[in-house]
Amino acid sequence: MPPGPIIRRLFGPFERSITNIYRRTFVDLDHFATQMIVWVPRPHRILEVGCGEGAVTERLAAKYSDASITAIDINANIGRLFRPKNPRVTFAQKSAEEAAATSPNAFDLVVLCDVFHHVPVSDRSGMLSAISECMAPGGSFIFKDWTPSRTLIHSLTLFSDRYLTGDSVQFCTKAEIESLIVTIFGAGAIRAEASILPWPNNIAFLVRPDLR
């Protein structure tokens, strides 16, 4: 097991609060949630891919109070720190490909936040293709990830992701992300982009394929 989960469990009842403080060093998820609701105000069914322990899921549930939310991840600790319990939120241990097979064209909004750099390069196109299959006609996809730079904060991010999670992470440049999105969703599918606080490395895209 990588050291991160072991260290975090030593915090006991303070784990959730300390984890949130640590995460805010790198990304302001409340700012990201505010940006999402500006881009996609009223989805009915939301799919979050790679939800982890539920940090983004909490923001989705708070911002989209009328939506049903399905949060998926391939890891076993799915939704472990999600609070409070919510009947509109369902957690499931499955991949994007499995979600596409069981719920095709089902979701008005699909969210992928800070997951892509953990995905093996050979699997990235397949994940994006599966996400496109999950989207309802006219649906939206919000993609957020960390882009590399020659800065101390990027070095800290790389250390955190590689040595605390144990994953062999590989970050994409903004241009590489845009190229992959256009390849899967089509030219013109990127409708907007935003920088998420507190660092310009946090890049988000609103993706909405052209139905014509």
In a domain? residue 4 = no
Residue 159 belongs to domain spanning: 25-207
How many CA within 13 A on the CB side of residue 149? 14
C-alpha span between 103 and 49 (Å, rounded): 13
Cα angle 87, 118, 108; round to 5: 40
Question: How many separate domains does the chain show?
Answer: 1
Residues present in the chain in total: 212
CATH number of the domain that 74 lies in?
3.40.50.150
List, for residues 1-51, the tens digit of each pLDDT value: 555 555 556 556 667 777 888 889 999 999 999 999 999 999 999 999 999
Pick the closest to residue 202 from 96, 116, 123, 124 (CA basis).
Answer: 116
In a domain? residue 12 = no
DSSP assignment letter at 51: -
In Å, what is the CA distance from 53 to each residue of 7, 21, 35, 94?
Answer: 15, 15, 21, 14
27: Cβ contacts below 8 Å, ≥ 6 apart: 114, 146, 196, 197, 198, 199, 202
List, for residues 45-88, the tens digit of each pLDDT value: 999 999 999 999 999 999 999 999 999 999 988 999 999 999 99
In a domain? residue 2 = no
In a domain? residue 11 = no
Is pLDDT above 90 for 162? no
For the chain, give the percent of residues with pLDDT over 90.
82
Q: Could you tell me the two tokens for 111?
A: 């969210």
In a domain? residue 1 = no
In a domain? residue 99 = yes
Q: Strand pairing partners for 202?
A: 146
pTM over the 0.75 mark: yes
In a domain? residue 113 = yes
User: Residue 144, class by beta-carbon neighbours within 10 Å (0-12 exposed, 13-18 middle, 19+ buried)?
Assistant: buried
Average pLDDT, the chain: 92
C-alpha span between 74 and 120 (Å, rounded): 13
Angle between helices 55-63 and 29-39 in degrees, nearest 10:
40
In a domain? residue 81 = yes
Pick the closest to residue 212 from 186, 192, 179, 178 (CA basis).
Answer: 186
